Amino acid sequence: MPAGTWVTFGPGVTEAEAENVVVLAYESGVNLFDVSEAHCGPRAEVELGRILQRRGWKRSSYVVCTKIFWNTKSDERGLSRKHIIESVKASLARLQLSYIDVVIIHKADPMCPMEEVVRAMHHVVCQGWAMYWGTARWTPGEVMEAYSNCRQFNCTTPVCEQAEYHLFCRDKAELYMPELYNKIGVGLMAWSPLTMGLISGKFDEAGFPLISRSSFKSKRSSYSWTEDETTNATSKETYAWIKERLEPEELRRQQERQREISLVAERLGCTVPQLAVAWCLKNESVQCLLLGATSPAQLYESIQSLQLVPKLNATTMTDLERILDNKPTRPPIVSTLALR
Amino acid sequence: MPAGTWVTFGPGVTEAEAENVVVLAYESGVNLFDVSEAHCGPRAEVELGRILQRRGWKRSSYVVCTKIFWNTKSDERGLSRKHIIESVKASLARLQLSYIDVVIIHKADPMCPMEEVVRAMHHVVCQGWAMYWGTARWTPGEVMEAYSNCRQFNCTTPVCEQAEYHLFCRDKAELYMPELYNKIGVGLMAWSPLTMGLISGKFDEAGFPLISRSSFKSKRSSYSWTEDETTNATSKETYAWIKERLEPEELRRQQERQREISLVAERLGCTVPQLAVAWCLKNESVQCLLLGATSPAQLYESIQSLQLVPKLNATTMTDLERILDNKPTRPPIVSTLALR
Amino acid sequence: MPAGTWVTFGPGVTEAEAENVVVLAYESGVNLFDVSEAHCGPRAEVELGRILQRRGWKRSSYVVCTKIFWNTKSDERGLSRKHIIESVKASLARLQLSYIDVVIIHKADPMCPMEEVVRAMHHVVCQGWAMYWGTARWTPGEVMEAYSNCRQFNCTTPVCEQAEYHLFCRDKAELYMPELYNKIGVGLMAWSPLTMGLISGKFDEAGFPLISRSSFKSKRSSYSWTEDETTNATSKETYAWIKERLEPEELRRQQERQREISLVAERLGCTVPQLAVAWCLKNESVQCLLLGATSPAQLYESIQSLQLVPKLNATTMTDLERILDNKPTRPPIVSTLALR
Amino acid sequence: MPAGTWVTFGPGVTEAEAENVVVLAYESGVNLFDVSEAHCGPRAEVELGRILQRRGWKRSSYVVCTKIFWNTKSDERGLSRKHIIESVKASLARLQLSYIDVVIIHKADPMCPMEEVVRAMHHVVCQGWAMYWGTARWTPGEVMEAYSNCRQFNCTTPVCEQAEYHLFCRDKAELYMPELYNKIGVGLMAWSPLTMGLISGKFDEAGFPLISRSSFKSKRSSYSWTEDETTNATSKETYAWIKERLEPEELRRQQERQREISLVAERLGCTVPQLAVAWCLKNESVQCLLLGATSPAQLYESIQSLQLVPKLNATTMTDLERILDNKPTRPPIVSTLALR
């Protein structure tokens, strides 16, 4: 089980509500706060900064993660040394902190030389602006490329990859992240958007929780994100998009899975979101899990999941595996040798 | 086509006029400003600094390049760690910026060890005084030497070489820069003095536009700059020098080329300077093009050239090639093996 | 003989008394002050800082060592880049110094990648926060791992290992430290808790001086510290623990050794603690010896030991060896080759 | 001929006189000022600092060199990272400069690991406290060791060795320095104490100029300095020492040489000190020559020597060689192969 859990600083919440969630988290032992401009605009950093200032907690008792976002459209497009440095400085100013614990680069930029990226992140660490750096939504190959550039140029290596992980999105976390962790020490910071949707009861008439399009597409295939998925992945349009494209048969099966999972939760005496969180925590490859919450009640419900983990015994896990029917497997390696 | 275009901050212009050019450029999407002490004295940096202060544009929305000049005559002669650091600090003070985007070393100094140069430029980048560094008027061999010293001492590699490129000066940009770009990632920032002369209508009675001496000398030969070319390359004396030395026959052919190019421009419905700019932009090796302008009107005319690029079809390009008759080719490699 | 001696800034002493000890030490030529949060809380650093401020001695005339402690229980558990940097900054603030001479990491953390540790310590040195770094209670294997990581990542290597060394705890200092010093330049900063107990006359009814549990366990075995030994190693409970576990026979022998050592001291005209200190200094592998003192009288007695060192001739050393009967030897290497 | 000449900031001179010398030097094109604590105490740095402040010359128009001295006797004995950093910071404060041009380590310390020295000097350069670093009174082997440590740890290499060089002390400068310069780029900053004595007319009754003991001992032998030579090398006691130890025959020959050199000077229409300076400058291995002067008149006389250099034709040089009879030669390499 991972050493800690996380709270995503959510959008659409007043500062007073946000403070309540942050305080409950901190007092419950959740000590990592993840904010990121793209999800909630610069407001999240500004508000978390103010809350931390007001509370005056010891700096070493909490961990702050934020992201470097970049786009391909605006004037300042692309990832670059300049953009990395400007972003980090702006985040530090908004957060009113002397350093960020983990600065995460959201998506790799194939147009920017990896050497430039790793030298810039090393600079950010050497300046004392960040303690560590990590990645989000990078393919395992991109993470490996960053790592080998760090070794070549004697730069600080990344410590984590932030990736989506939940009942319906398993490939990357289960197939590739354990290898990255064992080989180069890059841990998995799992991001579980499913729970947000399930907790907030925002169900679609077809029974769809608020998950992103990619969850479906990536089933049993190698994980890849396309440009348009990075925004509004949980919006109404996404589900409309999914329903239009999924076969009626697949839609029916998804609703059936949803129903069966509810029965398992009922049997365990918990809610579906709690089951979903506990199921994520059960995976030893999850070095930490980001939980989204917009109210203390939501967060409290998620934290309760910790007690559920030991109850997920072999039988229950096998049951869930059968219901989900999406256990990721690597495609067989067809040896050209064997074909001769 | 290159991602952006550039404006050289010109001499002999009042600060109000300069501001008008800078504002038009910025609002037209030209976001790189190149200033350099040698061409216009420290005034250019001071004035650009004041304009940027007054305008208050977001720092990440524009790019500032400046140069490190050195000489062989004065008290403080030569390129050295001391001169590099002093120059950059002085430029930062004049520009009132916390960093320069690209610091460019104008000419290599064979008397200064390359290790000293690359370590000093790495220092400049690590101190946060510059985001990148580049070169201007270096031979491909000097750029390669800098690059291999960077690799040996784990220093930041240069990102660009600023070189003259126009209808009558093609060797370096067309023969050598693509190789540097592909092998070591050094892009071409083309500097096109031709357009300045053509635009401003400063023609010589022999029909010579305001181009530098070296343009002629370097024809089909490997590119080399000699000391005396670095100053006043566009002055009257230069043309006097050229005319004295060129054969009458060559002078006549140059006037003929000039006339034929005018006809092509007429056919395309543009001015000769516009054709010259479009012809430069057509070359995919040009990562960016520096345009000089002393008035908004001049700049506007140059920017219009962008629309001309698609019109430069195969037929027109072949025509121009025939007129110019200066397509650079590498000297054949005489293999000692073949001679046996 | 080592070039200098050391004073441990002791707990349970008023600031005025502490100042007297520090001044006597400084004036007697003892110029290294070792303070560490874990033994005496942050108070030691604060008080030493105030004393140094008041005295105004030249900064280059004394040496200050402090430690980075970490634990496995609290919120901020484990060694990490963040913890290292936070600890050093906090120590600097408490000590009111611009740099610490030697920052020592107390115990290695098998959960933290060694690369992270050596890069963080290199950062601490490069920032000017420390002149050198060292270790305390690391196994020779851990020190070697740190060293080889430093070589791999071109980081500053550690200069010393702080280890317990006295009449009843000899293995690490005598068997392993000389090799580390010769191979990788890591010196031994010996810490001799025995003298504290013997000097203060805190004897147990069984004749036990105030020494730590580990002294006995490590006899002739490879040196290893377990978690619970790091706190209160000299407390009453420890001795109760020892007496319960030691065989009655072993207890009797320990009392006999104690008696015989007293006779040697008597013959040399010194106290047992003085003999103990001199015996440590006699070992050429001891680059420096940390002496604990809570009063000027105690310190004065210890310093007198320096005059005793030349008197420890071959006969006396042989006598002591016979009495102690604990000369460490390496286990014979059983070659699998020899067994064939 | 070297690119510049130097002025040693002398002791025993009022600040007003010193300022006159410095101003004359600067205005005559001598732009390097060498001060060093050991020769004249911290006063030289303080006074030069004040003069430079008052004059307000452009920082890039002059070069300041100072030394790191260390001893084997005091409390703070030995060269170490701490001593290097403390020394440089103290020099910067005394000089009121933001950086020193060349920080020179006076003598190598066999007790301090060379890795520690080169990492500390690299730190000094990276902090911007110095532009370059060099050595003084190091053997060629020590300089090579420093260089190879720099290469191993990717540190900035030293740029010069300051060594004694004059008519009676030639071995190091003529036999070993050219090789160091060609192989690793370490130039020779020659220090010519002879001229000081000759200029000031401080002659001994035996005709000895004020030169150091080592000048004689090192004749045709490999160059080595012993501890006691570092202080008061030009004092009366030294000459007493020399006269006592030299054979009467050798004394007579030295007086004869002195007389013959005077005749050569007379023939050239210059003084003996001027001839001595010109003879040093004639050597192409001398990248720069340090001239000591306590008055503008002395300095003026030395500067005049520049005009003498071209007059030192082959005939005159051969004459001088015959008179001196001390042309250094390498000891023949006796090959063990040849002996077989």
Cβ(C299)–Cβ(C25) below 8 Å: yes
* Cα-trace Rg, chain A: 20
pLDDT per residue as tens digits for the range D271-288: 998 999 999 999 988 988
- Which pLDDT score, from 0 to 100, does residue A337 have? 59
Whether B38 shows a pLDDT value over 70: the answer reads no
Segment among A20-34, D1-15, D45-59 with least mean pLDDT: D1-15
* pLDDT above 60: residue D340: no
Identify the residue whose tokens are 């380590």. Answer: D105
Quote the CA–CA distance of A333 and A328 in Å, as a whole number. Answer: 15
How far, in Å, CA of C52 to CA of C68, rounded? 21
- ipTM of this complex > 0.85? no
pLDDT tens across D102-116, in order?
999 999 999 999 999
Size of interface C-D (CB pairs under 8 A): 25
Name the more confident of C29 and A317. A317
CA distance D195 to D280: 10
| pLDDT tier, C138 (very low <50, low <70, confident <90, very high otherwise) | very high
Alpha helix positions (H), D43-192: 43-55, 81-95, 114-126, 140-153, 171, 177-184
What's the token pair of residue C153? Answer: 């990542």
Q: What is the pLDDT of residue B295?
A: 85
Confidence (pLDDT) at B333: 64
Tell me the mean pLDDT in the region B70-79: 80
Inform me whether the pLDDT recorded for D59 exceeds 90: yes
Q: In this predicted structure, what is the pLDDT of residue D232?
A: 39
| Of the ranges B55-64, C10-19, C284-293, the best mean pLDDT one | B55-64
Mean pLDDT across chain D, nearest whole number? 82
Task: Quote the pLDDT of residue A225.
Answer: 29
Q: Which amino acid is at C98?
A: S
Residue A245 pLDDT greater than 50, yes or no: yes
In which band, very low, low, confident or very high, does the pLDDT at B201 lie, cut at 50, 70 and 90? Answer: very low
B335: confidence class by pLDDT, cuts 50, 70, 90: low
Give the mean model confidence (pLDDT) for residues C246-268: 87
The rounded distance, in Å, linking the Cα atoms of B95 and B9 is 13
pLDDT at C307 over 70: yes
> Chain B: nearest CA to A115, how far in angstroms?
9
Closest-CA residue of chain A to C121: A126
pLDDT of residue C71: 86
- The pLDDT of residue A295 is 85
Confidence bin at A172 (pLDDT 50/70/90): very high
pLDDT tens for A180-224 read 999 999 999 998 766 555 444 444 544 454 443 333 333 332 222
Cα gap A301→A297, rounded to integer Å? 6
pLDDT of residue A9: 61
Kindly determine whether residue C59 and residue D123, on different chains, have CB atoms separated by under 8 Å.
no
Is a pLDDT exceeding 60 seen at residue C60?
A: yes
Read off the pLDDT band of A302 (50, 70, 90).
Answer: confident
**Percentage above 90 pLDDT, chain D:** 56
pLDDT of residue C243: 61
Contacts of C154 in chain D (CB under 8 A): 153-154
pLDDT (mean) for B242-246? 62
**Which residue(s) pair with B288 in the sheet?**
B4, B189
pLDDT at site B298: 85
- Contact criterion met (CB below 8 Å) for A150 and A132: no
Closest CA of chain B from A265, distance in Å = 50
Q: What is the mean pLDDT of chain C?
A: 82
pLDDT tens-place string over residues C85-136: 999 999 999 999 999 999 999 999 999 999 999 999 999 999 999 999 999 9
Q: Helices C43-55 & C15-27, crossing angle to 10 degrees?
A: 60
Residue with structure tokens 């349970």? C12
| Average pLDDT, integer, range D249-274 | 89
| Structural element, H or E, at residue A190 | strand A187-191
pLDDT of res. B131: 98
| Structure letter (DSSP) for residue A331 | P
pLDDT in tens, D108-165: 999 999 999 999 999 999 999 999 999 999 999 999 999 999 999 999 999 999 999 9
* A333 vs D132, higher pLDDT: D132
- pLDDT bin (cut points 50, 70, 90) of residue B211 is very low
Q: Which of A60, A132, A185 lies nearest to residue C83, judging by beta carbons?
A: A60
Q: What is the pLDDT of residues C191-216, one digit of tens each?
A: 876 655 544 444 454 444 444 333 33
pLDDT for the residue D2 = 39
* Predicted local distance difference test score (pLDDT) of residue A157: 97
Q: What would the pLDDT profile of D167-196 be if each residue is shown by its tens digit?
A: 988 999 999 999 999 999 999 999 876 655
Rounded CA separation C291/C4 (Å):
11
pLDDT class for B40, splitting at 50, 70, 90? Answer: low
Smallest CA–CA distance from B150 into chain D, residue: D154
Task: Report CB contact under 8 Å: A86, B154.
Answer: no
pLDDT-based confidence at residue B334 (cuts at 50, 70, 90) = low
pLDDT tens digits for range B88-125: 999 999 999 999 999 999 999 999 999 999 999 999 99
Q: Which of B93, B96, B88 is nearest to B55 (CA)?
A: B96
Range C243-267 average pLDDT: 83
- Per-residue b/e over C169-186, b at no fewer than 16 CB within 10 Å? bbbbbbbbbeebbeebeb
DSSP line for B177-217: HHHHHHHH--EEEEE-HHHHHHHTT---TT---S--THHHH
Report which of D222, D238, D229 is spatially closest to residue D329, judged by C-alpha positions.
D222
pLDDT value at position D254?
Answer: 82
Lowest mean pLDDT among A74-83, B218-227, C278-287, D203-212: B218-227
Question: pLDDT: is A236 or A244 the higher one?
Answer: A244
- Chain B contact probe: residue of D62, D131, D159, D184 with most B CBs at under 10 A: D131
Residues from chain A that touch C76, judged by Cβ atoms under 8 A, are 60-61
* CB-based contact A130:A67 (threshold 8 Å): no
Question: How distant is the Cα of A183 from the closest Cα of chain C, in angstroms?
Answer: 13
Chain A residues within an 8 Å CB radius of C115: 157
Residue C302, pLDDT above cutoff 80: yes
How many contacts does A have with C, using Cβ atoms within 8 A? 26
- pLDDT given at position C233: 42
Place of tokens 């042989």: C318
| C-alpha pair distances (Å), D249 with each of D168, D204, D255 | 17, 17, 10
What percentage of chain A reaches a pLDDT higher than 70?
76
Per-residue pLDDT tens digits for A98-113: 999 999 999 999 999 9
d(CA D52, CA A273): 74
Lowest-confidence pick of B10-14, B266-270, B290-294: B10-14
When pLDDT is averaged across residues A39-68 and rounded to a whole number, the result is: 90
The pLDDT, as a whole number, for residue D234 is: 44
Q: What is the mean pLDDT of residues D218-240?
A: 38
Question: Within 13 Å of residue B124, how many CA atoms lie on the same side as its CB?
Answer: 34
pLDDT value of residue C234: 44
Residue B244: what pLDDT? 63
Give the chains touching D; criterion: ≥3 Cβ pairs < 8 Å: B, C
Best probe of the D interface among C63, C125, C131, by most D CBs < 10 A, is C131
Averaged pLDDT for residues A52-63: 95
Closest C-alpha among D114, D191, D193 to residue D158:
D114
Question: Nearest-CA distance from D10 to chain B in Å?
Answer: 24
pLDDT band at C3 (very low <50, low <70, confident <90, very high): very low
Q: How far apart are CA C48 and CA C19, in angstroms?
A: 8
Contact between residue B32 and residue B65 where contact means Cβ atoms under 8 Å apart:
yes
Of B326-340, C51-65, D9-23, D309-323, minimum mean pLDDT range: B326-340
Which residues of chain C make contact with A132, given a CB cutoff of 8 A?
Answer: 81-82
At residue D4, does pLDDT exceed 60? Answer: no
If you average pLDDT over every residue of chain A, what do you get? 82
Q: What is the dihedral of CA C205, C293, C89, C155, to 10 degrees?
A: -90
Q: Write down the pLDDT at residue D251.
A: 79
| Tens digits of residue pLDDT in B119-156 | 999 999 999 999 999 999 999 999 999 999 999 999 99
* CA–CA distances in Å: residue A170 to residues A180, B83, C304: 15, 57, 71
What's the pLDDT at B78?
86
Helix axes D140-153, D114-126, angle to 10 degrees: 60
Task: Give the amino acid at A163.
Answer: A
Amino acid at D270: C
Name which of A53-57, A133-137, B70-74, C206-210 the model is least confident about.
C206-210
Q: Per-residue pLDDT for B217 more than 80?
A: no
How many CB atoms are closer than 10 A to CB B313? Answer: 9
From the CB of residue A4, how many other CB atoms can be counted at a distance below 10 Å?
14
Pairing type for strands C100-106 and C63-68 reads: parallel
Does residue A147 have a pLDDT over 60? Answer: yes
- CA–CA distance, A46 with A50 (Å, rounded to integer): 6
Spatial distance between the Cα atoms of C67 and A62, rounded to a whole number of angstroms: 22
Report whether D308 contacts D268 (CB < 8 A).
yes
Establish how many alpha carbons lie within 13 A of residue C157's alpha carbon, considering only the half-sphere containing its beta carbon: 22
Using the beta-carbon criterion (under 8 Å), do D128 and B81 form an inter-chain contact?
no
